Amino acid sequence: MPRMKSESLAQDQINMEEVLAKHDDLAHVPEKGEVLNGTILEKTSNALYIDIGRFGVGVIYGKELFDDLDTFKRSKIADTVQATVQELDNEDGYIELSLRSATRERSWEELRRKLDDDVAFESEIIDANKGGLIVRVNGVTGFLPVSQLAPDHYPRVEGGDKSKIQERLASYVGQIFKLKAITIDPENEKLIVSEKAAVSDEISATLEHLGKGKDVEGVISGIVDFGVFVKFEESGQELEGLVHISELAWQRIDNPADFVSIGDKVKAKVIGIDSGLRISLSIKQLQDDPWLKAAEKYNAGDTVTGKILKVTPFGGFVKLDKDIHGLVHVSELPADIQKDPTAHLHAGEEMEFTIISIEPKEHRLGLSLKKPTEEVKETKKEKKAKKK
């Protein structure tokens, strides 16, 4: 007796369910955000067509393609790629895909491994701005701050001219730098890299042989408001240290550019090496301290001729000779000048001063422009004040 139609339909349904149970992938419909594997069928100047098997053909174009430009440039016909579903059926009947979304997670995972393993890698500089350089690592855009540049690439610009610093940074575009990741934040698309950290191991090994107190010979490689940079070699490694303005000479220096020029050969002493691999140098400590003999040349009460170097509201700095500079405090100026020293004293002017104090160990010498009569009057006033 033939089966009833309803029984046949029920059996077919059971068979279909069994097939689907064994091959549940046949019933699967991709969802937005799902990552699919496929092979490149066709590549044009602005699109990739992907064979995604039973789901048909997908297309990647526009922002979703060019946000992962590295992968697009390297890709070729028959390559296997991963892409994320954006739209199930666009106006052309294709499943719209994204390279950017699919590679983003892989890229950040790889960057995280580089950070965790403290691995250095190479990357091309693709752009520059006033704060540093822009790089692209595994399709992720990162930032290399000026403060994280290695000594060789740090922009040493006299006077701190911002436009010249920008030019120096822009000259690195297209170059390959050795870097390490120091900050990774996928949620905020933030990647910070450091060149200084990448070369730190090499420099650290060299610094172990350098040591505090060692004398070095080098050349002036940069001049800034707060000092000068000196490049020198140690154990075959090129290093760079800073001579702070206070360590250039025993006398007062207002502008390092008046004291040295780029390319000058100098000798310096290593006076510090900190954890940030910064080397501090001193030029003056390789010279005899002229203040140790100042007491033999100058005495309190002497009248001397000095040249005014700088005038401030609290007094003036005076050059007695090439090594010894003194200070005439505003209180040691004539009464009619005390209200506004800058209007009466002028840099470059030579005047006669009286030495009122000298402290060679402290590198201090006090001067006075007061006339003897003014000093006597002031003493009388002080005595009257004391009696009251």
**Domain covering 118-199, topology:** OB fold (Dihydrolipoamide Acetyltransferase, E2P) (2.40.50)
DSSP string, 262-293: TT-EEEEEEEEE-TT--EEEESGGGS--GGGG
Segment 116-120 long-range contacts (CB within 8 Å, at least 24 positions apart): 118/180, 119/180, 120/178, 120/179, 120/180, 120/198
**What pLDDT is recorded for position 1?**
42
| Domain segments of the chain as ranges | 28-104, 118-199, 213-286, 291-387
pLDDT tens column, 9-51: 555 555 555 544 554 455 567 888 788 889 999 998 888 899 9
| pLDDT at residue 144, as a whole number | 95
SS3 179: strand
The residues of the chain scoring below 50 in pLDDT are: 1-5, 19-20, 23-24, 375-377, 379-380, 383, 386
Look at residue 268 in the predicted model and tell me its pLDDT.
94
Class of domain 291-387: mainly beta
According to the model, what pLDDT value does residue 183 have?
93
What pairing do the DSSP bridges indicate for beta strands 325-329 and 364-368? parallel
Domain 28-104 CATH class label? mainly beta
In our burial notation (b when 16+ CB lie closer than 10 A, e otherwise), range 174-185 reads eeebebbbbebe
For domain 213-286, the question of CATH label 3.30.70.270 is answered with no
pLDDT of 61: 83
